[in-house]
Amino acid sequence: MCRRWPRPRRPWRDRCSTLADLAVPGLVIPSLVEYSSNLTASLIDAAGEKVAMICQAPKSGNIAKVRFTTGTVTTGDTVTVSLQTPNASGDPDGAILGTGNSAYGSQVVLATDDNKSFLVTLTSPCAVTVGQWLAVVIEYSSYVAGNMQIVATAAAYSQAFCIPWLDTYTGTWTRTGGAVVTMFEYDDGSHAPSPAVLPFHLSGSVAIYTAVDADLDPHEYGNLFTVPIAMRAIGWWTSVYSTAGADYEVKLYSKTTADCDTVHTIAIDGDWGRTLTYPIIGRFAEPVSLVTGATHRITMHSTSSTGQRLYYIPVLAVAELDALSWGQNCYGTRKSNAGAWTDINTMRYQIGIIVDQITTAAGGGGSRPVVSYGLEEYH
Protein backbone atom coordinates (compact mmCIF):
# COMPACT_ATOMS: atom_id res chain seq x y z
CA MET A 1 0.00 0.00 0.00
CA CYS A 2 1.33 3.41 -0.89
CA ARG A 3 1.23 5.75 2.10
CA ARG A 4 0.97 9.51 1.61
CA TRP A 5 3.24 11.36 4.01
CA PRO A 6 2.26 14.84 5.18
CA ARG A 7 3.79 17.58 3.15
CA PRO A 8 6.47 19.40 5.16
CA ARG A 9 5.70 23.01 5.98
CA ARG A 10 8.05 25.46 4.33
CA PRO A 11 9.78 27.42 7.09
CA TRP A 12 8.74 30.82 5.78
CA ARG A 13 5.07 29.93 5.54
CA ASP A 14 2.66 30.25 8.40
CA ARG A 15 -1.01 29.86 7.64
CA CYS A 16 -1.80 31.55 10.94
CA SER A 17 0.05 34.70 9.85
CA THR A 18 -1.47 36.97 7.28
CA LEU A 19 1.03 39.82 7.55
CA ALA A 20 4.47 40.35 9.05
CA ASP A 21 7.62 42.44 8.69
CA LEU A 22 8.35 43.28 5.09
CA ALA A 23 11.65 44.27 3.52
CA VAL A 24 11.53 47.70 1.87
CA PRO A 25 15.15 48.40 0.89
CA GLY A 26 15.92 52.06 0.45
CA LEU A 27 12.52 53.49 1.46
CA VAL A 28 13.13 57.22 2.02
CA ILE A 29 10.88 59.07 4.50
CA PRO A 30 9.80 61.79 3.82
CA SER A 31 10.00 61.30 0.07
CA LEU A 32 13.19 62.47 -1.62
CA VAL A 33 11.18 63.63 -4.66
CA GLU A 34 10.04 66.50 -2.40
CA TYR A 35 13.62 67.72 -2.37
CA SER A 36 14.17 71.27 -3.59
CA SER A 37 16.99 73.72 -3.09
CA ASN A 38 16.05 76.80 -5.06
CA LEU A 39 13.23 78.51 -6.85
CA THR A 40 13.01 79.14 -10.55
CA ALA A 41 10.34 81.14 -12.35
CA SER A 42 8.71 81.71 -15.72
CA LEU A 43 8.04 85.28 -16.86
CA ILE A 44 4.74 86.28 -18.48
CA ASP A 45 4.67 89.90 -19.67
CA ALA A 46 2.55 90.09 -22.82
CA ALA A 47 -0.95 89.29 -24.05
CA GLY A 48 -1.52 85.57 -24.60
CA GLU A 49 1.40 84.43 -22.47
CA LYS A 50 0.72 81.82 -19.81
CA VAL A 51 2.31 79.32 -17.46
CA ALA A 52 1.09 75.77 -16.85
CA MET A 53 2.02 73.25 -14.19
CA ILE A 54 1.40 69.70 -15.39
CA CYS A 55 0.84 67.10 -12.68
CA GLN A 56 -1.56 64.41 -11.49
CA ALA A 57 -4.58 64.63 -9.23
CA PRO A 58 -3.44 63.25 -5.86
CA LYS A 59 -6.81 61.63 -5.07
CA SER A 60 -10.35 61.33 -6.32
CA GLY A 61 -12.77 64.05 -5.28
CA ASN A 62 -13.73 67.62 -6.08
CA ILE A 63 -10.93 70.18 -6.33
CA ALA A 64 -12.15 73.50 -4.94
CA LYS A 65 -8.96 75.57 -4.61
CA VAL A 66 -5.62 75.77 -6.41
CA ARG A 67 -2.33 77.27 -5.21
CA PHE A 68 0.20 79.22 -7.27
CA THR A 69 3.15 81.37 -6.24
CA THR A 70 4.69 84.51 -7.74
CA GLY A 71 8.32 85.49 -7.98
CA THR A 72 9.06 89.11 -8.91
CA VAL A 73 5.99 91.14 -9.90
CA THR A 74 7.10 94.23 -11.82
CA THR A 75 3.59 95.23 -12.89
CA GLY A 76 0.43 93.82 -11.40
CA ASP A 77 -2.54 92.50 -13.34
CA THR A 78 -5.47 90.11 -12.96
CA VAL A 79 -4.88 86.47 -13.81
CA THR A 80 -7.19 83.52 -14.40
CA VAL A 81 -6.28 80.16 -12.88
CA SER A 82 -7.90 77.14 -14.55
CA LEU A 83 -7.74 73.37 -14.64
CA GLN A 84 -7.28 71.89 -18.11
CA THR A 85 -6.23 68.59 -19.65
CA PRO A 86 -2.78 68.07 -21.26
CA ASN A 87 -3.03 67.25 -24.97
CA ALA A 88 -1.06 64.60 -26.87
CA SER A 89 2.03 66.85 -26.76
CA GLY A 90 1.75 67.36 -23.00
CA ASP A 91 0.63 70.99 -23.29
CA PRO A 92 -2.70 72.38 -22.00
CA ASP A 93 -5.49 71.75 -24.50
CA GLY A 94 -7.17 75.13 -23.81
CA ALA A 95 -10.49 73.63 -22.65
CA ILE A 96 -11.32 74.49 -19.03
CA LEU A 97 -12.49 71.48 -17.04
CA GLY A 98 -15.57 71.28 -14.86
CA THR A 99 -19.29 71.28 -15.46
CA GLY A 100 -19.97 74.08 -17.91
CA ASN A 101 -16.25 74.90 -18.06
CA SER A 102 -16.35 76.12 -14.48
CA ALA A 103 -13.05 75.02 -12.93
CA TYR A 104 -11.40 78.39 -12.93
CA GLY A 105 -10.96 81.39 -10.67
CA SER A 106 -9.43 84.86 -10.93
CA GLN A 107 -6.83 86.58 -8.79
CA VAL A 108 -5.69 90.23 -8.67
CA VAL A 109 -1.91 90.29 -8.39
CA LEU A 110 -0.47 93.61 -7.24
CA ALA A 111 2.94 95.06 -8.05
CA THR A 112 3.80 94.57 -4.36
CA ASP A 113 2.98 90.84 -4.47
CA ASP A 114 6.55 89.60 -4.92
CA ASN A 115 7.19 86.05 -3.68
CA LYS A 116 3.63 85.53 -2.57
CA SER A 117 1.38 82.47 -2.68
CA PHE A 118 -2.27 82.65 -3.68
CA LEU A 119 -4.91 80.04 -2.93
CA VAL A 120 -7.49 80.62 -5.63
CA THR A 121 -11.08 79.41 -5.19
CA LEU A 122 -12.53 77.95 -8.37
CA THR A 123 -15.95 79.08 -9.60
CA SER A 124 -17.20 75.59 -8.77
CA PRO A 125 -15.37 72.43 -7.65
CA CYS A 126 -13.94 70.21 -10.37
CA ALA A 127 -14.47 66.44 -10.12
CA VAL A 128 -11.23 64.47 -10.70
CA THR A 129 -10.02 60.92 -10.25
CA VAL A 130 -6.74 59.91 -8.65
CA GLY A 131 -3.89 59.94 -11.16
CA GLN A 132 -5.78 62.09 -13.67
CA TRP A 133 -3.40 64.38 -15.54
CA LEU A 134 -4.13 68.06 -14.98
CA ALA A 135 -2.71 71.33 -16.23
CA VAL A 136 -2.90 74.23 -13.77
CA VAL A 137 -2.90 77.20 -16.17
CA ILE A 138 -2.13 80.77 -15.04
CA GLU A 139 -2.82 83.44 -17.68
CA TYR A 140 -3.95 87.05 -17.88
CA SER A 141 -7.71 87.48 -17.69
CA SER A 142 -7.51 90.40 -20.11
CA TYR A 143 -3.96 91.66 -20.51
CA VAL A 144 -3.37 95.26 -19.49
CA ALA A 145 0.28 95.66 -18.56
CA GLY A 146 1.17 92.63 -16.44
CA ASN A 147 4.77 91.60 -15.85
CA MET A 148 5.22 88.79 -13.34
CA GLN A 149 7.02 85.57 -12.62
CA ILE A 150 5.28 82.30 -11.73
CA VAL A 151 7.39 80.07 -9.49
CA ALA A 152 8.48 76.46 -9.71
CA THR A 153 11.41 74.84 -7.92
CA ALA A 154 14.86 74.00 -9.18
CA ALA A 155 17.73 71.96 -7.84
CA ALA A 156 21.10 70.77 -9.04
CA TYR A 157 19.50 67.70 -10.58
CA SER A 158 15.97 69.04 -11.09
CA GLN A 159 16.04 68.70 -14.87
CA ALA A 160 15.74 64.96 -14.24
CA PHE A 161 12.16 65.65 -13.13
CA CYS A 162 10.64 65.55 -16.60
CA ILE A 163 7.28 64.60 -15.11
CA PRO A 164 5.63 66.63 -13.63
CA TRP A 165 6.82 69.76 -15.39
CA LEU A 166 6.49 73.51 -15.89
CA ASP A 167 5.23 74.66 -19.30
CA THR A 168 5.47 78.29 -20.48
CA TYR A 169 3.71 79.78 -23.51
CA THR A 170 5.23 82.86 -25.19
CA GLY A 171 4.13 82.03 -28.73
CA THR A 172 5.01 78.35 -28.43
CA TRP A 173 5.03 76.06 -25.41
CA THR A 174 8.43 75.53 -23.77
CA ARG A 175 8.85 72.83 -21.16
CA THR A 176 11.29 72.93 -18.25
CA GLY A 177 12.10 70.47 -15.48
CA GLY A 178 11.82 70.97 -11.76
CA ALA A 179 9.30 70.19 -9.08
CA VAL A 180 5.96 71.93 -9.52
CA VAL A 181 4.84 74.53 -6.95
CA THR A 182 1.10 74.15 -6.66
CA MET A 183 -1.46 72.52 -4.40
CA PHE A 184 -5.00 71.24 -4.62
CA GLU A 185 -7.54 71.71 -1.84
CA TYR A 186 -10.67 69.58 -2.13
CA ASP A 187 -14.17 70.75 -1.31
CA ASP A 188 -14.06 68.86 2.01
CA GLY A 189 -10.98 70.87 3.02
CA SER A 190 -8.60 67.94 2.55
CA HIS A 191 -5.25 67.64 0.78
CA ALA A 192 -3.17 64.73 -0.49
CA PRO A 193 0.42 64.35 -1.77
CA SER A 194 1.31 64.12 -5.45
CA PRO A 195 4.94 63.21 -6.33
CA ALA A 196 7.22 66.22 -6.90
CA VAL A 197 4.32 68.66 -6.42
CA LEU A 198 5.14 71.05 -3.58
CA PRO A 199 2.70 73.28 -1.64
CA PHE A 200 5.21 76.09 -1.05
CA HIS A 201 3.89 79.18 0.68
CA LEU A 202 6.12 82.24 0.38
CA SER A 203 5.45 85.76 1.56
CA GLY A 204 8.01 88.53 1.51
CA SER A 205 11.09 86.34 1.04
CA VAL A 206 12.39 83.71 -1.33
CA ALA A 207 14.72 82.28 1.34
CA ILE A 208 13.81 78.60 1.63
CA TYR A 209 16.71 77.60 3.84
CA THR A 210 17.86 78.15 7.40
CA ALA A 211 21.47 79.00 8.25
CA VAL A 212 22.78 76.32 10.60
CA ASP A 213 25.80 77.76 12.40
CA ALA A 214 27.30 76.92 15.79
CA ASP A 215 27.50 80.65 16.60
CA LEU A 216 23.80 81.17 15.96
CA ASP A 217 20.88 80.70 18.31
CA PRO A 218 19.35 78.22 17.66
CA HIS A 219 21.82 76.04 15.78
CA GLU A 220 20.09 72.66 15.59
CA TYR A 221 17.20 72.14 13.17
CA GLY A 222 15.27 69.22 11.77
CA ASN A 223 11.95 67.40 11.87
CA LEU A 224 9.81 65.92 14.61
CA PHE A 225 8.00 62.86 13.30
CA THR A 226 5.57 60.29 14.63
CA VAL A 227 5.92 56.76 13.33
CA PRO A 228 2.57 55.59 11.87
CA ILE A 229 3.73 51.97 11.62
CA ALA A 230 6.65 50.09 13.14
CA MET A 231 9.76 50.24 10.97
CA ARG A 232 13.53 49.90 11.03
CA ALA A 233 15.74 52.86 10.08
CA ILE A 234 19.18 52.16 8.65
CA GLY A 235 20.21 55.65 7.54
CA TRP A 236 19.38 59.30 6.95
CA TRP A 237 19.22 61.92 4.22
CA THR A 238 19.26 65.70 4.16
CA SER A 239 19.30 68.57 1.68
CA VAL A 240 21.94 71.19 2.45
CA TYR A 241 24.20 73.66 0.72
CA SER A 242 27.47 72.00 1.59
CA THR A 243 30.11 74.60 2.51
CA ALA A 244 33.79 73.64 2.85
CA GLY A 245 34.80 73.52 6.51
CA ALA A 246 31.22 73.50 7.82
CA ASP A 247 31.22 70.57 10.22
CA TYR A 248 27.94 69.25 11.58
CA GLU A 249 26.22 66.25 13.10
CA VAL A 250 23.10 64.41 12.06
CA LYS A 251 21.17 63.28 15.15
CA LEU A 252 18.31 60.86 15.58
CA TYR A 253 16.44 61.33 18.86
CA SER A 254 13.86 59.18 20.59
CA LYS A 255 11.37 61.36 22.40
CA THR A 256 10.67 60.63 26.07
CA THR A 257 8.31 62.26 28.53
CA ALA A 258 11.19 64.31 29.92
CA ASP A 259 12.87 65.37 26.70
CA CYS A 260 14.69 63.53 23.94
CA ASP A 261 17.44 60.97 24.23
CA THR A 262 19.97 60.79 21.41
CA VAL A 263 19.76 57.44 19.65
CA HIS A 264 22.43 58.04 17.02
CA THR A 265 24.88 60.84 16.25
CA ILE A 266 26.80 60.89 12.97
CA ALA A 267 29.61 63.45 12.62
CA ILE A 268 30.12 64.96 9.15
CA ASP A 269 33.40 66.62 8.19
CA GLY A 270 32.66 69.78 6.24
CA ASP A 271 35.67 69.15 3.98
CA TRP A 272 34.03 66.03 2.58
CA GLY A 273 31.85 66.13 -0.51
CA ARG A 274 31.18 68.95 -2.94
CA THR A 275 30.37 72.55 -2.11
CA LEU A 276 27.04 72.45 -3.89
CA THR A 277 23.42 71.81 -3.03
CA TYR A 278 22.77 68.10 -3.22
CA PRO A 279 20.98 65.51 -1.15
CA ILE A 280 23.42 63.98 1.32
CA ILE A 281 22.82 60.38 2.34
CA GLY A 282 24.38 58.23 5.05
CA ARG A 283 23.92 55.15 7.21
CA PHE A 284 23.63 54.63 10.94
CA ALA A 285 26.21 52.43 12.65
CA GLU A 286 23.44 49.91 13.30
CA PRO A 287 19.71 49.66 12.51
CA VAL A 288 17.27 51.50 14.77
CA SER A 289 13.84 50.02 15.53
CA LEU A 290 11.05 52.60 15.58
CA VAL A 291 7.79 51.48 17.17
CA THR A 292 4.28 52.44 16.10
CA GLY A 293 3.15 55.75 17.58
CA ALA A 294 6.60 56.73 18.87
CA THR A 295 7.85 60.26 18.32
CA HIS A 296 11.39 60.98 17.13
CA ARG A 297 13.48 63.87 15.88
CA ILE A 298 16.00 63.83 13.04
CA THR A 299 18.18 66.97 13.06
CA MET A 300 21.24 68.75 11.77
CA HIS A 301 23.43 70.17 14.55
CA SER A 302 26.17 72.62 13.58
CA THR A 303 29.57 72.09 15.23
CA SER A 304 31.51 74.87 13.48
CA SER A 305 31.21 78.61 12.92
CA THR A 306 31.02 78.04 9.16
CA GLY A 307 27.36 77.88 8.29
CA GLN A 308 25.39 75.32 6.31
CA ARG A 309 22.05 75.90 4.63
CA LEU A 310 19.32 73.42 5.56
CA TYR A 311 16.40 73.68 3.12
CA TYR A 312 12.75 73.52 4.07
CA ILE A 313 9.22 73.63 2.66
CA PRO A 314 6.93 76.33 4.16
CA VAL A 315 3.15 75.87 4.10
CA LEU A 316 0.37 78.29 4.92
CA ALA A 317 -1.66 76.06 7.26
CA VAL A 318 -1.08 72.87 9.24
CA ALA A 319 -3.56 70.96 7.06
CA GLU A 320 -1.44 71.71 3.98
CA LEU A 321 1.25 69.35 5.30
CA ASP A 322 -1.09 66.63 4.06
CA ALA A 323 -0.05 67.67 0.54
CA LEU A 324 3.38 66.20 1.41
CA SER A 325 4.30 62.60 2.11
CA TRP A 326 3.83 61.68 5.79
CA GLY A 327 1.44 64.60 6.19
CA GLN A 328 1.02 66.11 9.65
CA ASN A 329 3.12 63.32 11.15
CA CYS A 330 6.29 65.23 10.21
CA TYR A 331 7.13 68.93 10.74
CA GLY A 332 9.90 71.31 11.80
CA THR A 333 11.73 71.45 15.12
CA ARG A 334 14.71 73.39 16.50
CA LYS A 335 16.66 74.13 19.67
CA SER A 336 19.85 75.63 21.09
CA ASN A 337 22.28 73.49 23.08
CA ALA A 338 20.48 72.21 26.19
CA GLY A 339 17.48 74.48 25.65
CA ALA A 340 13.92 73.36 25.05
CA TRP A 341 12.69 72.25 21.65
CA THR A 342 10.49 74.56 19.59
CA ASP A 343 8.24 72.75 17.13
CA ILE A 344 6.88 74.47 14.00
CA ASN A 345 3.94 72.71 12.35
CA THR A 346 3.70 74.97 9.28
CA MET A 347 6.95 73.90 7.67
CA ARG A 348 9.12 70.87 7.08
CA TYR A 349 12.88 70.67 6.85
CA GLN A 350 14.37 68.55 4.12
CA ILE A 351 15.83 65.86 6.32
CA GLY A 352 14.61 62.36 7.05
CA ILE A 353 15.36 58.67 7.47
CA ILE A 354 16.02 55.66 5.23
CA VAL A 355 14.08 52.52 6.10
CA ASP A 356 14.74 48.89 5.14
CA GLN A 357 11.87 47.18 6.96
CA ILE A 358 8.29 47.87 8.00
CA THR A 359 6.16 45.84 10.38
CA THR A 360 2.50 45.05 9.93
CA ALA A 361 0.11 43.23 12.22
CA ALA A 362 0.42 39.45 12.17
CA GLY A 363 -2.02 36.86 13.41
CA GLY A 364 -1.37 33.65 15.30
CA GLY A 365 2.36 33.04 15.02
CA GLY A 366 3.27 36.69 15.55
CA SER A 367 5.40 38.94 13.38
CA ARG A 368 8.76 37.88 11.99
CA PRO A 369 11.50 40.13 10.64
CA VAL A 370 12.47 39.79 7.02
CA VAL A 371 16.22 40.20 6.90
CA SER A 372 16.76 39.57 3.21
CA TYR A 373 16.19 42.12 0.49
CA GLY A 374 13.46 40.00 -1.07
CA LEU A 375 9.84 39.84 0.01
CA GLU A 376 9.08 36.58 1.77
CA GLU A 377 5.93 34.62 1.07
CA TYR A 378 3.08 34.68 3.57
CA HIS A 379 -0.34 33.05 3.50
Instruction: Show which of 151, 173, 198 is a domain's final residue.
Output: 198
User: What one-character DSSP code corresponds to residue 92?
Assistant: B
Domain end position, chosen among 165, 198, 231: 198
pLDDT at position 204, please? 75
**Pure H helices in 86-222:** none
Tell me, yes or no, whether 167 and 260 share the same domain: no
Q: What is the pLDDT of residue 258?
A: 57
Please identify, among 198, 219, 242, the residue that sits at the C-terminal boundary of a domain: 198
Residue 69 structural domain: 38-198
Query: By the 8 A CB rule, do 188 and 60 touch?
Result: no
Q: What is the pLDDT of residues 290-307, one digit of tens each?
A: 988 889 999 999 888 877
> Rounded CA gap, 68 and 197, in Å?
11
Residue 47 shares a structural domain with residue 94: yes
Q: 323 φ, ψ to 5°?
A: -85, 0
Distance CA 342, CA 78 (A): 39
| pLDDT in the model for residue 255 | 72
In this structure, is residue 12 part of a structural domain? no
Residue 205: per-residue pLDDT: 74
* Low-confidence stretches of the chain (pLDDT beneath 50): 2-19, 156-161, 363-379
pLDDT at residue 369, rounded to an integer: 40
Position 24 scores a pLDDT of 63
Give the pLDDT score at 105: 97
Residues 212 and 186 in one domain: no
Q: Which of 250, 255, 279 is nearest to 267 (CA)?
A: 250
- pLDDT tens sequence across 106-123: 999 999 999 999 999 999
Q: What is the CATH number of the domain that holds 141?
A: 2.60.120
pLDDT at res. 23: 64
Q: What is the pTM of this model?
A: 0.82
Domain match, 42 and 183 both: yes
d(CA 34, CA 293) in angstroms, rounded, equals 24
